[in-house]
Structure 1
Amino acid sequence: MGKATAQRLARDGRSVGVLDIDRAGAEAVAAEIAAAGGKAIALAADMADRSQVEAAVAETRQAFGPITIVVNNAAVENFAPIGEVTEADWDRLMAVNLKGAFLLIQAVLPDMMAAGWGRIVNISGFGAQIGAPNMALYTATKGGVISMTRSMAVELGSKGITVNSVSPGFIDTPMARRAIEGDLFPVPYEQILAAYPIPRLGQAEEIAAACAFFASDEAGYVTGQLLGVNGGAAF
């Protein structure tokens, strides 16, 4: 989803900082964007580490100037019964999925405040809205993202900064494929999809399209919203 979103924003004319804990992966995406005629740089940081996040933000400013759009997509997963979740699991997922989003927003906020314009898009998750077996920890982090989004929208709206969330359903990503291949769902994944009004896996490009809308000028009167890109699933 991060790759597709970076590519979409670049096609929309944005200069993009591609941030990942894996620099080689970020470099590959940035190279693809450049080959297609876009502007991008590769950045590496552990989202749980403030100093690394701030260094990545500083590098982006040096390359492209003030940052006024951020998409918080970084996340790690955990599939385990709640009784087997360790404190280390809890700390790591909270640090990356929730704290990481907060750290990045806080690092770029001065640029948005100075510009009187900003777009913050946080990727949450459908499981945080309905619950999911063996994913209490992961969905807790994404529920926190939803609540943080709404409160930040209230706080920052008068500053010209919108804050919205995209809530993916069952999207065809490496994370989802690991779960499918590891048989980590309580029922076959085909059975889950069959219950959706649109009975298929979503595509990363469909998440990117939602992010691109929230990042646009046209979405200037849209804030505090949670957009489900989930094939119509509602249960």
Structure 2
Amino acid sequence: MLTKLYKIIRNSQNEVCWLSHHIPKTAGTSLANTYVNQFGKRNLYRLYNPDKIKVFERTGKIEQYTNELIVHGHFKPRVSQSNLSRDIKRIVWVRDPVQRAWSMLHHLVAVQKHKVEYRILNDYFGEQLNQLNEDIFLFYLTDHRLKHLNRPYSNYFSEVPLMDFDFVGKVENYDSDLLKLSDLMGAQLGKEKRNIRKGKLSIDSQDFKCHLENEYEIMANYYSY
């Protein structure tokens, strides 16, 4: 049934290839599960291998790509990627910059203790990392060694601007925007809530926006500064 649906969609959309750009901590895991449930595993190419991502960002080519309907992963938009198929459509989900950074901090502390960025935090705060607070978050936003973790929109949209995307969804409007994506793709995308990690402390975006001013400038049509 899924294979038949896949063929119908491919034929009706003139061999379209959907490039689904997953910015970390923007519901990308939930979206991948939704894709699999609707189109099947064979029609989703997960692009998370760092070496393959570098090649795709540089050349627009993917190793072992076999015309899957959707390419989903942590790859940045590049003009050269239009060579992958004669009809490329781009998808991306975004999130309030401060809230995304707060979620990313929790993710780093919880499951990425092997990373250099975690060691930087651990050397400074030690056991305080067991209970994240605003002081730790401020350090995370302002320390120059961690800056690259908090500039996703500057990094992702430097070559292909948001206005060139076929779909931009907001995590804050996930359910309603998922319906819009369903209409665009001509499919019924179900809700898959996965990989959700919430901190015990709520962060007021207004208190930290000044540290991510450039990110808010890029997202001006979606989030106010």
How does the TM-score come out when normalised to structure 1?
A: 0.31
Higher RCO, Cα 8 Å, sep 6+? 2
Which structure has the greater CA radius of gyration? Answer: 2
